[in-house]
Each structure stands twice: as structure tokens, then as C-alpha cells.
Amino acid sequence: MYYLGVDGGGTKTLACVVDEKGKLIFKNVSGPTNILENGEEIFRKNIRELLSPILSEIKPEEIISCFGLPAVGEFRDDVKVLRRIIKEEIQIEPNFVVNDVVVGWAGGNLARDGIHLVAGTGTIAYGRKGKREVRVSGWGSIIGDEGSAYYIGVETLREVSKELDGRAKKSLLSLLLFEELNLRDSLDFINFIYDPNKDRRSEIASVAKITYKIALKGEKKAIKILKNAAWELVLTVVTAKKKLRLMYPVVTYSGSVIEKNDIVRAEFIKALDKEGYKVIPPQLSPVLGAIVYAYVNYHGYYPDESFIKNLKNIERSEGNG
């Protein structure tokens, strides 16, 4: 028996397979698997590239799996559709198909009560208290994802556009952004945003790293954008806490913005600490959280300490960011 965990995202998708003792058998990465944002063709391609290699070594019926995927819970017959596509592409019948924030939660506090925030390309929070569960945010790049890399990218590009035409005073923000992206003029700027040959969501989300780099130079506009993003993330978690009626919840997190952007993370933790929340780094990454979720929900009990220890050893030796 083997356990497969998949952590899908708007930029990349990770997979890990472990044996009955929790020791790593297989690991792989592919592109985005948000079927709403990226389309079915790309979803199929990336799932196939992600997991086809393992099928030469392990039979599908030997695998207990959990797929944490974006867009679950966001369109009718979602799980049914995704199960069918996965089985068509890789012959694996998924045991569990959940939103990617759920596997983040499972890894964050080992599938125990609390709230987990994902702030990467997009944003969503998931909380659970006993059998009661809630989701907050995660409305997608067109109307939501506040606090995400995409949000930071949009806010940065919007401010730069104001500087370019004089609606806002020129600052280092536009100067340094142009340098980082190797843009010559406003036409290059427009092409970067609207180039039909590129994945617009990923391109705009990539700007968040540049915003952070500019903020570290002391640029006030960049710092303000990042602090506003942090407050959007705080609001998301506070809303989940109120809906669950948790007193002093454990809050864990994952995703590039909250993990790698020190300004956003510090502002986020400071605000929640003041209100009595216990904010801690995740115990396991989402892809390994998917394995914990599969184990707990398949067997009906938690894995033993040695299994979890082996998963943590994978985390330390392999890294799953």
C-alpha cells in the first residue's frame, strides 16, 4: 500500500508518494492545475506529466490518494469532473479530491482543529472545528484573491500605470520595476501585461517578488502595497475564526507570499498575535498534508508518530516549497 499526495496550484503542482512507513518513494513537479483558470487541456497535460512516471513502478490499485486542487468547490459537479479526468489521464481513481487549501490545513496542524491560510498565486483560508468547516476568500483572480501574489502584482502594476501617465507622482516603484522587467517604455509595459502568448495570471503574480525586492529598498509605495496585502490576509483569517466560533485558534499558513515575503508575514503575525491567535509555521507542507489527509480519512485514525516523523524527514531532506 502506498499513499499519494498532490498539491495543485496556480503556478505549479507537487506530488509525493510514500510507503506504509511514510518513507518517500516518488516526488515530482509539474505546471498549474487550476482547471478554471488554466483550462481542461492544461490541467490534463500537467496531471499526466506529474504522475505518469510513477505508474511504471506502482499499480494504481495499490495507491491511496488525496488530490488537493484549486477550483474544488467552485463549479458544479467539480469532484465528479476532476475524478473522471484524473482517471482518464493516469488510471488512478482518486480516493479524495479536495480544495488545495484543505491539504494545506491537514499539513499545517496535522488535520486537527484550526485555520489554515494559503497565500500564493491566489488566496483562500480553510478552518475546521470538529465536523464544522468553513472556507473564506478564494474567489479567483477576477474578483478576489486579495492578499495574494496576483493581488500584489495587480496593485503594483496599477500604481505604476498611474505614475506613467501622471495621475501619481513618479517614484522608485516604476523606475525599479522597469529595470527588473527590462522594459523600455509604456508599450513594453502593456505587452508584459496583455501578451496573449503568456499565462497572464502567472506573469502578473510574478511581479509580487519584484514588489518585495523594491520594498526592501525602502520604497514607501511598495511597502504600503505589501502591508495592505497582509491586512487582507488578516481579514480572511478573522472571518474564518468568527464563522467557526473558535476562541483562540491555531493558525498555520502556506504559499509563496506568506512564507517568503518577510514584510507580509511579519505584519500578518503581529496583527493576529495581538488578538490572541496562535500563529505557527506549518508542521508539514501541503503535499505531505495531502498524505496525512488520505491516511486519516481512509483509515479513520491518525498515523503513528513514526509515520509522521518520516514525513517530517522528507520535509527536511527534500524540501517541498
For the chain, the residue count is: 321
State pLDDT tens for residues 190-199: 999 998 888 8
Distance CA 214, CA 228 (A): 16
- What CATH number does the domain located at 2-110+283-318 have? 3.30.420.40
318 pLDDT higher than 80: no
320 pLDDT higher than 70: no
Same fold, 2-110+283-318 and 149-216: yes
Would you state the pLDDT for residue 54? 86
321 pLDDT higher than 60: no
Would you state the pLDDT for residue 73? 85
- The CATH T-level fold of domain 149-216 is Nucleotidyltransferase; domain 5 (3.30.420)
Mean pLDDT of the chain: 92
319 pLDDT higher than 80: no
CB of 223 closer than 8 Å to CB of 28: no
- Residue whose C-alpha cell reads 489521464 in the numeric block: 89
142 pLDDT higher than 80: yes
From start to end of 31-174, where are the E strands?
63-69, 96-99, 114-119, 123-129, 132-137
Distance CA 53, CA 151 (A): 35
pTM metric for this prediction: 0.82
Domain ranges of the chain: 2-110+283-318, 149-216
Would you state the pLDDT for residue 179? 95
Residue 304: band (very low, low, confident or very high) from pLDDT cuts 50, 70, 90? very high
Closest C-alpha to 95, from 67, 74, 76, 53: 67
Would you state the pLDDT for residue 202? 87
